[in-house]
Structure 1
Amino acid sequence: MPTRPIFHTNINYCGSSGLIFLKTLFFSCPGSLVEFKVSVGFSKRREDKMLGPEENEWDFGQGPLHIRGEPLRDLKSLELYAVKNPSGFADSFLCPILRHCPALKKLKLRGVTEEHTIQDAAKALGEYCHNLVDLSLPSTSTNNGEALMQMMGQIQGPGLEVISVRKLYDKAASAVSIAAITRHSSTLREIQLSDCEELQSTTLQVILVSCRALEVLRTGGEFSKLNPVSLRQAVVTEWACTRIRVLEITVAFTLDGRDPAYLTDRTMETWTEDDHDHWRMLDTFYTQIGSLTSLEVLNIKSAGNYRPSEAAVGGLITEVPFRKACLPGLLALEDALTGQLGFLSRWVGLKKLRELCGSFLWTNPEAVARIGEREVEWFVTHLPSLRRASFLAMANLGEFGSDVHFVPRTVRDLQARRPRLVLNDFM
């Protein structure tokens, strides 16, 4: 009876001989393999019960294992996970595997921690894997940002299309990051940087101004002050990502994440040169967002620290939660008669926008002071595709024993006029 070819394999293994098992398995797979996914756990047992064959095993007596010497020319997807092993994959293990994957398009690695392993793996990718378009490093190591940039810098071929990194520590030199991202700027369609530990402003800037094919950009983390793009860097050059559909970024608009003090003077008579400069940068930023007419999901968080008078005892809590921060001047319409300052009209072109979340709560003091009937009317007549917006925190909806009447009148008016629009904070 002919042997049926293996096209996919997905195996979980836990034992003291994990890497030996994984390497043996990989070099025993037939040439028909197109997808290889293995998660290897490591135990502290001195012996592994599965090291030797036993009579009751299905393959007992079938002869020695055949080790393949030829590359897997049909292998398109490779996912390797080293679980509960601080040393991760060694270069002596990883590089021989990469040499056998000339047609590889998708690579997911978890467990690349040593610097020399990163360098050797990056070199192997550049030398042997010329078709790679999807790279994922779901790692918690403190140098995964450097690993990402080194690998991107070495990869040849048509260029990466998808990058995904979890818990990114973006500590690579700016010049290295710029060169790596620019190398793939014409092909990158999706960049997912979830749960960022640290993200340099320069990295975000070069993504925005160089990645012409970009459709999805998600960046975020528990501590937003560690991964914002500065307002000045965000507006220094016109963005190239005009096709973007999903945008999630954190921006440092002000030091405290709140409205700047100069906005209290609507006449602008007391404004300094720096105040006018900041106001122009805000205008440029909001206008740039408004020009992204393909946007469907927009998540902008404002980063900042508490003012000294508001800081927690002992200074342990310094960051303003993005829900309590605001996007200065955005949620208001400019009005020459009253002197009202605002930029909301800059977003009139976002006709495909379905979801709006981030620092947009209408219960914040800045929003309460500026949002009135004109702003409600604007949201009723514009953004026709909008289905969900984070204008209310969940607590304002009566959960956790809160007072439902705390919902501002403007929110109730908007809900009455757009009943299908969900207004709760969902991010």
Structure 2
Amino acid sequence: MTACATFFRIPELVASLAPFLDTQDIAHLVKTNRLLSHACAPLFWSDLDIHNPDTALALIHSPSALQALTDNLGNVRTLATETNFIAHYVIGLAAFLHSHPSTPVLRPSWLPSLTPNKCPVSLSFPPLTTLTRLYCSLLVNLPCGPQWSADQLSLQLCWFISLNQGLQELSVEGLRLGDDLVLRVIARTISRLYRLKHLTLAPAHKAHVGHCVAEILLFNCPQSIVSFTLDSEIVSGPMLPDLMPNDKDRDEGPVVVRKAPLLNLKELRLPEHYAGFRAEDLCSIMEQCPAVESWIVPCVVHEEAGQALSDTLQRHCSKIRELTIRAPGKEQHGPTVISIMEKLPSQQVEVFYFKSYREFLPDRMMMALQRHSESLRMIRFDNCCRIGRQTIMRILTGCKALEEFVIDGLAHFPSRVDLSLEDAVEFKWASTRLRHLQLVMTFGEFGEYYENAEGSRLWSESDLRRWSLVEKFALQIGSLQDLEVLDIKALNVATGSAVSRYHLVPIPGLLTLDDKSKNKFGFLNQLKRLHKLRELRGSFRMSAMTAVTGIMGAREIAWLSENWSSLKAAEFLPHNHELSMVPVPECLQDLQSNRPDLFLSLQ
């Protein structure tokens, strides 16, 4: 027996191949010969993706495909699916149980019936009980055929989940959590999934849920839970009512909200609450999450509640390393986050993400960031409303471990941009490990140059000083040898007028080579050490380059081809320029010939 044959006769070794093979690879192996077909068939069925409506439609209308699925249900470990498959499977399972009464699977008293005459074929499915991962959306319907709603299928899905008690990862979109019966059933169901590690629940279209929902679901999770996400919005409402005599699940007893520490929970996302959580509600939850490391900070009702929350975190949740702030428009959000960073152990926070940031208490914010300057690896301000130059420069000059620094959202609002070229080069940056840098800056205005009889350019004193600042900036960027994504958007650069659209202006001299004989400035050589650069974004459009700020030519194209071999995309042309039939300058055509794998615009 050959070594290859021996390998494929050992199931554990064959299973070890799975992470390195896609579905097509496995299909080729299955078709090779009888040995490989027998060995690799379980791999082919282990990861089943029928989330796409077209795939579900083809499966449901193919008796042979349905039979193949039935024969291999025992091999399925991961399932990504949608409304129609769940409906058809539950109907088929009910038919199977009716014809096989000895099967040890009981139909719950709370489970409503579905209409079998909606199915295109007669179905009969045995119980699927081997799943370890399930991803399901109840929001997807086939473009043709029967239409099912989340109201009809929420309880059916709960039953389907309950059959797979070995689930380790569960993600459901569209569950009707506003229904008391559904909430009780899903709470009981997840409490019995003793191996569950990752749970994500999202009601349809982020539907509003009552105050009690997050607490009921979180504290019905098993002790094994590692990450919990409830992607919804909270509205004020009553607690879960007591069971009534006519409730269909009365025989299962009331839902009990356990208050025992979740010692393995490391990631927590509670629903958004724009009115703000009360301190007692939020603190009672966080007291039971001592191991949490990644937390999306909810909004609190007022600043005093934020102070109480930070005190609770200091006592009970001292391991937090990632802070995400998503709720916009709350003035007390800023002080709350600052207070949390002040109370956590110093040099611990590694990730700081703030959506819709607006500058507040800048001195306290800078001190809070400084408290974690040696540990912070990622700082992102997405959809930023306003941020001061002092805060930006304190980050760049103080955070030595920083790998990602992104300020997004200012590019079309010049009045909000506070960082100038002078600010950026005033001090040496300490963040030399950056892999992703995104900034919006003002570069000032360059006057028209004059040429003498020999063709050499003559600049004013103010322009010469500004060119020296650009050179310092290029040297600063060029020192970031680990940089993979560079996104610099320039404003107010054009001669004689302020321009508010970043793609209408270039960054002067950054993508051109100098010519000392003509006193022409260019600092592309200062970026020679950016060997890892993959994406160049921002104010680098060819159409915006002028004689004053420098125009890319054959020399620059040859330089790019030689020095930036890792570059995969550059914003030289408008987005998806191929679709809009934008003419491509000759020098970029040459670059494309030399580097056919390089995208000349963002896709």
TM-score, normalised by the number of residues in structure 1: 0.83
> Which residue of 240, 250, 266 maps to 2:430?
240
Residue of structure 1 equivalent to 2:600: 423
> Which is richer in helix?
2
Show structure 1 runs of 5+ residues with no match. 311-317
Q: What is the number of residues matched between the two proteins?
A: 404
Residue of structure 1 equivalent to 2:105: none
d(CA) in 1 for partners of 2:557 and 2:413? Answer: 29
Q: Does 1:153 align with 2:326?
A: no
Give the drift of 1:160.
0.9
Q: Give 2:314's aligned amino acid.
A: G
Residues 398 and 430, structure 2, Cα contact 8 Å, conserved in 1: yes
Residues 332 and 343, structure 1, Cα contact 8 Å, conserved in 2: yes
d(CA) in 2 for partners of 1:161 and 1:263? Answer: 47
Q: Give 2:251's aligned amino acid.
A: G
Residue of structure 2 equivalent to 1:99: 287
Matches within 5 A, 1:107-186: 107-112=295-300, 114-143=302-331, 144-156=333-345, 159-169=348-358, 171-186=359-374
Q: Structure 1 stretch 409-418 or stretch 339-348: which is displaced more?
A: 409-418
Q: Give 1:420's aligned amino acid.
A: D
TM-score, normalised by the number of residues in structure 2: 0.60
Q: Using the aligned pairs only, state the percent identity.
A: 29
Give the drift of 1:28.
4.7
Q: Does 1:19 align with 2:211?
A: yes
Give the drift of 1:151.
2.3
| RMSD between aligned residues | 3.2
Residue of structure 2 equivalent to 1:383: 564
Give the drift of 1:180.
0.9
Residue of structure 2 equivalent to 1:393: 574
Q: 1:238 to 1:224 in 2, by over 3 A?
A: farther
d(CA) in 2 for partners of 1:148 and 1:232? Answer: 30
Show structure 2 runs of 5+ residues with no match. 1-164, 166-190
Residue of structure 1 equivalent to 2:513: 333
Q: Give 2:536's aligned amino acid.
A: L
Q: Which of the pair has the greater relative contact order for Cα pairs under 8 Å at 6+ separation?
A: 1
Give the drift of 1:262.
5.7
d(CA) in 2 for partners of 1:265 and 1:51? Answer: 84
Give the drift of 1:30.
4.6
Residue of structure 1 equivalent to 2:170: none
Residues 50-73 of structure 1 deviation map (CA, whole Å, 9 limit, x = unaligned) = 734356767523344444344322
Structure having the higher Rg? 2
d(CA) in 1 for partners of 2:573 and 2:516? Answer: 29
Indicate the SS of the match to 1:122.
Answer: helix
Residue of structure 2 equivalent to 1:252: 442
Residue of structure 2 equivalent to 1:313: none
Matches within 5 A, 1:394-409: 394=575, 397=578, 399=580, 404-405=582-583, 407-409=584-586
d(CA) in 1 for partners of 2:432 and 2:328? Answer: 32
Residues 156-179 of structure 1 deviation map (CA, whole Å, 9 limit, x = unaligned) = 26501112222222x222211211
Q: Structure 1 stretch 292-301 or stretch 16-25: which is displaced more?
A: 16-25
Q: Give 1:363's aligned amino acid.
A: S
> Which residue of 205, 228, 243 maps to 1:36?
228
d(CA) in 2 for partners of 1:379 and 1:7? Answer: 47
d(CA) in 1 for partners of 2:215 and 2:294? Answer: 19
Residues 189-228 of structure 1 deviation map (CA, whole Å, 9 limit, x = unaligned) = 1222222122222221111111111112222115353255
Q: 1:69 to 1:419 in 2, by over 3 A?
A: closer
Residues 19 and 40, structure 1, Cα contact 8 Å, conserved in 2: no
d(CA) in 2 for partners of 1:18 and 1:75? Answer: 23
Residue of structure 1 equivalent to 2:466: 278
Residues 79-107 of structure 1 deviation map (CA, whole Å, 9 limit, x = unaligned) = 1122xx53132222112212222211110
Residues 376 and 414, structure 1, Cα contact 8 Å, conserved in 2: yes
Residues 293 and 351, structure 1, Cα contact 8 Å, conserved in 2: yes
d(CA) in 1 for partners of 2:450 and 2:327? Answer: 46
